[in-house]
Structure 1
Amino acid sequence: MATRTMLFLLLLVQYVFASNSSEVPLEQYFKSDLRFPNIPVGLTRDGMYYVNATLGTPGQWQQLGLGLAQPYVWVVSGDADSQCNRLDSGCLSGPLYYPQESWTSSTGGDKYSINFIDGISLNGTRYMDVMRLMNVSSSLNVSGVDSGVSFRNHTLTVQNLSFFNADYSSGYLYGSLGLGGTLNSDTELEGDFINHSFFFLDALKEARLINSSSYSLWLGSQKRNGFADTSDANEAGYLIFGAVDPNLVEGEFRKFDMIPYIHPQTGKVAYGYPVVPMGPIYITSSSGRSLNVTTDGFSAPVLLDPSFALSYLPTKAIIQIAIQIAAVYVESLDLWLVSCDVASSGATVDFSFGDLTIKVPLSDLLASTHDQSTNTTLHFNTGQEACVLQLYPNTFTGYNVLGQAFMKNAYLAVDLEGKGVAMGQAANFKSGERKEIITRQASIVTFTDSLNKTSVATFSTVPSSMTSGYIPYATYESDSAYDSMQLYPSKVGSRITSIPGQIAGTVYPGGVIAGDGRSFYDTSRTTTKLQTSTQFDSFSLSGTLGWNDSLASTSSTSRRNTAQHTSPAWLVSLLGTACVLLGSMVI
């Protein structure tokens, strides 16, 4: 009894001291332990972040992708398979869902066509069944009779979840755990039959597992680089429902108001997606030298979404990055290729959001050119292995997207009810290390540990609950310039266009790339010998630049180095800046 009293007094003293700076309520601190459900996020060999789940009774195993820009859960239908789509078929391993195999399934009967803002479309039938999320951690056992939600033995069960069983899903082999807000589209689904049973996070809130429809996502334990490893990762990170864990962020943690999405056909406004204002983009060397690859006043909305393997940015920014790392564009492959050696340079691509900067190692933006079917890899004629630069113009999507490379380096918190998004640089440690930190903190808060460990926990390192309009530990980023910002998709293009001929390449038989991947300077030197102005005399441009770019089309369609065509002023200036201001290759 005396020990418990002493522990309480010590914690009370800590609270009084911390309240002067962190302003965390005492009652919130005592609730801030492992009670918040958090689930490991895996990464498939082909690059999809997922959580493990089952649907139906008996449970049919599913790997559900993270649908940050999708409001509903959906799965790929196995209706057409008469051998499996029946009771007691034994087809439980996924990835298809067989409604007739489950004795708890029910259907609304009607079919619907849905287009999500991330470009995924599906045709499917509305179903209701039991969903179970596996390997969930929480300190509480909960059974909500009225809500149909329970948590037992590391399994989070939602008894009556509505979802779509898709017989068409734009080429996807796996379903999705919808974490987005409500959908406003030309189909106007919501209102007639869409209710709270379709929204997974709402079900957790109704069961009082979380205080608001919110989540945070950390993918920082995923150390795989696209060019270095193709193995599966069972624990690439964590999805935390309703809470923020400050151990998962390094440095500033900033909150932004969600930028609304405007449907291009109907003009309807939709919130509930992690769309934030992105500022200038920089490429930075290991010595700290930086170059702005956009403009000083650059500002544009961007969707944060790990379901995108690539990132989609303004064309001019990608060209400038390509110049700095000596990448070449191969039209026949529609890819930027660069020597894999640049991965070890220590360079980063830095994305700014007001006063916040998220650094993405250049190595995370590279992918291997290895073809498993032929066991071959592309090489430059110097013998250097070629890697793919995983950046594409935003003309492919109609808007800016920061995909997996960025999300691996950012800790994200989304408050759907309060229309807020917070993020910071992701902490860098393994999933197991995070488990030890949180378990240690929880043991202290619940008075189950000894006195000599009380000094480990502090109020600033305890996971805390999100409520509507409140994201703990986040500093609000206020800028009136963002008030009128909207994400309005532009017309989607088909290929990379407007590539300077001097940074274009060709692949010859045997997988050899013409040129050594060097653009305007010798990248083997620590200092660069500047070339004469004749290096800028011949470019070949075709088409128009991407979103927010303003270059008129040219008449030439050739992209060979010998093509003679006058370059626009911005491109000549851009190339000159690369050599004159830096004096050498940034990395």
Structure 2
Amino acid sequence: MNPLLIFLLLTNCCLAATISSDASSQITSTQSPTTTSNTPEKTSNLPTLILTPAGTLVWNYTVIVGSETLQTLAPRLDIQNPDVFLLDNRYFTMCTDETTTSSSSSSASSSSSSETTIKKKKREDASVTSSSAETSSTITTTSSSSSSSSSYSTSFSTVSRCASQVYFMTRSSQSAYWSTTLMKIVDGIENATEYYRMLMNYIWSKGRYQVDDFIFEVDGIDDSKSSQNVNFTDFVFVGANASNVPIGSLGIGTPMNGGTNLISRFVEGKYISSNSYSLRLTRNEGDSQLVLGGINKNHYIGNLTVFDFIPVYDPTYKFVPESLNGISNTFPVLPISRFGVTSNPSGDSVLFNAEYSDTTTHTGTYPRAAVLDSRTFFNYIPYSTLIEIAIELNAYYVDSFGAWLVDCTIKESGTIDMYFGDLEINIPIGDLLMPATDENGTQLTFENGNEACILRVLPDYSYGYSLLGTPFLKSVFLAVDHEGRQLAIANLNDTDIESPSDNEDQQYEITSGYIPFAITNNLTSYAALTLTVPSSTSDVANYTGPNTADLLSNGDIIRTEGGTNAYSANGAGGVALSGLLGTTTNSNALSASGYTGTSSSKGGAAAAYGGRGSVGLFERCSLYFAGVVLMCLSIL
């Protein structure tokens, strides 16, 4: 019998499933969307962990580890990883400015101000500086689908040995090694259970299981309305002796194959009733909150919509072990059903194509499965949808950056809209932008004095599946029920809120299989969906349409034009998008390479890729640095 069918039957999914041979395999199913019928259970004592931003892109949590000499560490929030891991000082040295090579999942090189410069074609940890410099070494890999060097495989030849913070086992008399088989402390590192895991963001770590005393400072666990320390003795974690990231993990992901996670200890301690959490990451100044065991209704607006976890099928066994037949429903995966844009000035909206393409071999129709990740700076979406977004924002692709650039002033002009069935999530343009800087962290500006920003959206063909990072997570309220394998999302309430203790009347418990106030989604087609990990990925040719520019080594810039295979932005005969987010300077129909495009009176979009004209946010724009023109981004 098909192993995927066995898995789904055993997990009561009521599926009649088959896996197709295509890399975008889908599960054929009669599953209905999850319904909820419980009554919300109000509470006032949910443990609330206050997260601190590391720059503006990722979040950490401060924990006290050890005995005698207490160690203050700040591992990174990680919603994929169920494990807490800390970098062992015996294998990692503290980073210095000279050894720092900070980078993000699209190789963003970080300065102390967390302003990030993109370098071409790398995928590394989404780590930026907090109080000290963070680093990750360059991951050199060889792609199985290309003879050229690529960073999209798993054959790592370089391991990070520089860390922004390290754990000293010898400083605690309570530290010891741990066997997950015997479920007890063991003598000697050789008797401790070995650990290795790679996540779907390609972050990996290896080491041994250990225990030590952990102190978590939390709000809301009693009626004193003040922070309290929760002490756990023999807290199980991983002492990492190798990793491709420079900072440890505060893992709150779903345990795989009967394991436990950080939240399990709060359940065992009777602080909460289920292995669950909700997450609110703030856009504005203020506290980002991880609420264990429930939700706070103050944290979202509109409908909270629930989705069953979409199964992951991994025939490569990179992320899901062979012992599970490469099949797991423990990753936070949900179905994207559409993209669009909305203009703030007018309120007008445009809905993008229902079909998508990665320009190579894979095409499909939404919904498309996407995994969530709190350690990745970017959203990775289908290439054709990215082009539609770039046109609407009048973004320009710069090959030497490996990213799209826009004028930062566009951040207030509207939203990128993501649809999950009848739920619409509106992401402010500003949440998708970060400053474009040179290698010294100096801000690049346009000729008109406006700052240049990097669009935090990249094509997903390098992964082979879609991934939504922190640009998405900071725009949504997320609730996760690990026991029921469900997650719920809503639009974030980004207005300032009071402290957790002042919001106790809005707290409600999550119970197994039930997220309070979450309504059933209206999608039926996603029940047949799975996220399939491809056996190889494609590093396809970069975009070469009219909205491109090259940065030359001598500082001169040439703009490149599209070739004969000009891309039609919306797949409808080359008709351009409406350009709601810009102001047109040429509303005439444009054509090139056999494609004809039209520009709406609302304007702002380049006419069907291959078209040429002075349209969009800028009639003429140049990137400046130190008084020298670095980039001509004008559309001729």
Distance (whole Å) between structure 1 residues aligned to residue 48 and residue 86 of structure 2: 22
| Percent of residue pairs bearing the same amino acid type | 26
Of residues 369, 374, 397 in structure 1, which corresponds to 2:436?
Answer: 369
CA–CA distance in 1 between the matches of 2:250 and 2:581?
47
Residue in structure 2 matched with residue 277 of structure 1 by the alignment: 335
- Out of 364, 368, 393, the residue aligned to residue 325 of structure 1 is 393
Q: Which residue of 2 aligns with 1:316?
A: 384
| SS of residue matched to 2:253 | coil
Partners in 2 of 1:522 and 1:481 — Cα distance?
A: 30
In the alignment, is the contact (CA less than 8 A) between 1:507 and 1:513 conserved in 2? Answer: yes
Q: Is the CA contact (8 Å cut-off) linking 2:392 and 2:579 kept in structure 1?
A: no
| Match runs of 1:56-95 below 5 Å | 56-57=66-67, 58-80=69-91, 95=165
Give the superposition deviation at 1:182.
2.5
Deviations 1:88-140 (A, max 9, x none): xxxxx972011111110111424432222331111212111112222543226
> Which whole-Å CA distance do the structure 2 matches of 1:522 and 1:472 have between them?
39
- The one-letter amino acid paired with 2:309 is M
Q: Within 2, Cα distance between the matches of 1:502 and 1:301?
A: 31
Is it true that 1:353 corresponds to 2:420 in the alignment? yes
Query: Which of the residues 28, 37, 51 maps onto 1:41?
Result: 51
Q: Pick from 64, 68, 74: which aligns with 1:54?
A: 64
Q: Deviations over 1:563-587 (max 9, x none)?
A: xxx7xxxxx47xx37x359654498
Residue deviations 1:56-111 (CA, integer Å, cap 9, x gap): 2132111111111111111111024799xxxxxxxxx9720111111101114244
1:106-505 alignment runs, 5 A limit: 106-108=176-178, 109=189, 110=192, 111-139=194-222, 154-170=228-244, 172-183=245-256, 196=260, 199-219=261-281, 221-223=282-284, 235-265=286-316, 266=322, 267-286=325-344, 287-295=346-354, 298-345=366-413, 347-371=414-438, 374=440, 376-380=442-446, 384-430=450-496, 433-435=497-499, 438-440=500-502, 442=504, 462-490=506-534, 493=537, 495=539, 497-505=541-549
Q: Is the CA contact 1:256–1:478 (under 8 Å) kept in the aligned structure 2?
A: no
Distance 1:428 1:382, change over 3 A: closer
1:363 aligns to what SS in structure 2? Answer: helix
Q: Counterpart of 1:320 in 2: which secondary structure? A: helix
- Tell me the secondary structure at the aligned position of residue 533 of structure 2: coil
Q: CA deviation at 1:271?
A: 1.9
Larger Rg, first or second structure (1 or 2): 1
Alignment partners' CA distance in 1, 2:350 and 2:63: 44
Residue in 1 aligned with 2:172?
A: 102
Tell me by how many angstroms 1:153 deviates: 5.6
CA displacement at 1:382 relative to structure 2: 5.5
Once residues 303 and 485 of structure 1 are traced to their aligned partners in structure 2, the CA distance between those partners, rounded to angstroms, is 13
More helix by share: 1
Alignment RMSD: 3.3
Displacement of 1:386 in angstroms is: 1.8
* 1:327-360 deviation digits (Å, cap 9, x = unpaired): 1111122111112221232x11011111111111
Instruction: Give the 3 Å change call, closer, same or farther, for CA 327–584 of structure 1 in structure 2.
Output: closer
Taking the aligned partners of 1:165 and 1:329, their CA distance within structure 2 comes to 41
Note closer, same or farther for the CA distance 1:76–1:441 as it changes in structure 2 (3 Å cut). closer
CA separation of 1:496/1:82 partners in 2, compared to 1, >3 Å: closer, same or farther?
closer
CA contact (8 A) 1:272 1:419 kept: yes
Tell me the secondary structure at the aligned position of residue 462 of structure 2: coil
Q: CA deviation at 1:523?
A: 11
Q: Displacement of 1:474 after TM fit?
A: 0.7
8 Å CA contact 2:580, 2:603 repeated in 1: no
User: How far apart, in 2, do the equivalents of 1:209 and 1:513 lie?
Assistant: 60
Q: Normalised by the size of structure 2, how large is the TM-score?
A: 0.66
What is the identity, as a one-letter code, of the residue corresponding to 1:472?
Answer: P
Give the 3-state SS of the residue equivalent to 1:96 in structure 2: coil
**What secondary structure is seen at the aligned counterpart in 1 of 2:239?**
strand
C-alpha deviation, 1:504, in angstroms: 1.4
1:421 shift after superposition? 0.5
What amino acid is aligned across from residue 270 of structure 1 in structure 2?
Answer: S
Map of 1:552 onto structure 2: none
Counterpart of 1:56, as a letter, is: G
